[in-house]
Amino acid sequence: MELLRKWLGHPEDIYNLLRFKMGGYRAVMPRMDTVSGKGCAGGGKRFAVAGARHAVCIFYLVLRALDTVEDDMSIPLDVKVPMLHEFHSHLYQPDWKYTESKEKDRQVLEDFPTISMEFRNLSKVYQDVISDICHKMGVGMAEFLEKKVDSQHEWDKYCHYVAGLVGIGLSRLFSASELEDSIVGQDTDLANSMGLFLQKTNIIRDYLEDQLEGREFWPREVWSRYAKKLSDLAKPENIDAAVQCLNELITNALHHVPDVLTYLSRLKNQSVFNFCAIPQVMAIATLAACYNNQQVFRGVVKIRKGQAVTLMMDATNIQAVKAIMYQYVEEIYQKIPSTDPSSNKTQQVISSIRAASLPGGPMASRHHYSPIYLSCAMLLAALSWQYLSTLSKATEEYVQAGDN
């Protein structure tokens, strides 16, 4: 019955899960030939797509290995700091690996010779991007090993090192592959905002998990206005102040949305667009779920699976993404408490997002069946299933009685 109540509360979820299963996933993962063209030019584009995908894969594995070093609390600081500083140089050392990690992802360090070999097989233009980002990220990670995030400026700086640089690196790879124009890789401010929006969303959502693991990423400049210690926000008696702190940080994160929309509007390749847009719409949906929500300090706040699938299928063009952003900031707007200390700032940033989402034209519509219609349909289906199950059971009992 609990599952049935969830379905009736969000009937569009079950519809979109079925739509995804029945072929909607093709919008998320377009076939190679649908984005490649024909003839010699098409062959060149296919090669570019394949090369870019391989480079992005290696980029991910290299940064995963670097992140594993940063996260491993068993590595002494006098060993970890130089490791982070020099990690990029190991890409050119065929035999280098680290076998003493205790982290769950230690395999990327133990099998690093395989990763570094694949890295060295990439085109030099890809190698240069990956090595440069790895170097900058390692230096940044080392900087924050021994200090906490105090100011909002330092929060931006930390998020730049661990996520903004990822956005910059990916953008440079997209441009290097010629799948995207050179401006995509050159405009590092927009690429940085892409990363900061995702990282801030994760930090905000994961407050309780990070507290339980002894990690603190919320900026002291903000939380110190609401509590003496960051951990105090999880105490029931402090829940009102905790939610106000949460709302202020979400307001901060929302300032990146106009940059996100500008960045996405420049993308031309469908695969690249999907790859970049889907995490961004997931992030805005997550912030909408977290805003003014006490559950952030009591457990895990997640968007529903059906909701996630809907976002994946819908976020395939800039107008649809703008519509999604508009929808979720409106959801936040409706929840702004009049007594919230950040209410004016939240309203202001939402106004700027509205302006970016509706540049003088009609908002792209998001087609769904009426929730009332779907609720009725799901209820009818549930009742029919129950009736047929009962009828089948009664028939079986009647047959068994006749046999006896």
The DSSP H or E segment spanning 16 is: helix 11-19
Q: How many CA atoms lie within 13 A of 377 on its CB side?
A: 12
DSSP character at residue 34: G
Residues 345 and 21: their CA atoms lie apart, in Å, by 41
Kindly give, in sequence order, each residue whose CB lies less than 8 Å from that of residue 162, ignoring residues fewer than 6 positions away: 67, 137, 140, 141, 199
Residue carrying structure tokens 């940059």: 259
Residues 401 and 192: their CA atoms lie apart, in Å, by 73
Contact (CB, 8 A) for 204 and 296:
yes
Residue carrying structure tokens 């609401």: 226
Residues 85 and 102: their CA atoms lie apart, in Å, by 20
Residue type (1 letter), 85 = H
Kindly give, in sequence order, each residue whose CB lies less than 8 Å from that of residue 302, ignoring residues fewer than 6 positions away: 286, 289
> What beta strand segments (E) does 87-171 contain?
none
What is the SS3 assignment for 86? helix
Residues 315 and 323: their CA atoms lie apart, in Å, by 9
Q: Tokens for 224?
A: 């110190």
Residues designated as active site: 158, 205, 215, 275
Residues 81 and 96: their CA atoms lie apart, in Å, by 17
**Could you tell me the CA-to-CA distances from 292 to 197, 278, 281, 341, 370 in Å, in that order?**
18, 24, 19, 12, 28
> H/E/C letters for each residue in 149-192?
CCCHHHHHHHHHHHHHHHHHHHHHHHHHCCCCCHHHHHCHHHHH
What is the SS3 assignment for 301? coil
Instruction: Provide the CA 221 distance to its chain's centre, in angstroms.
Output: 25
First-to-final CA distance of the chain: 36
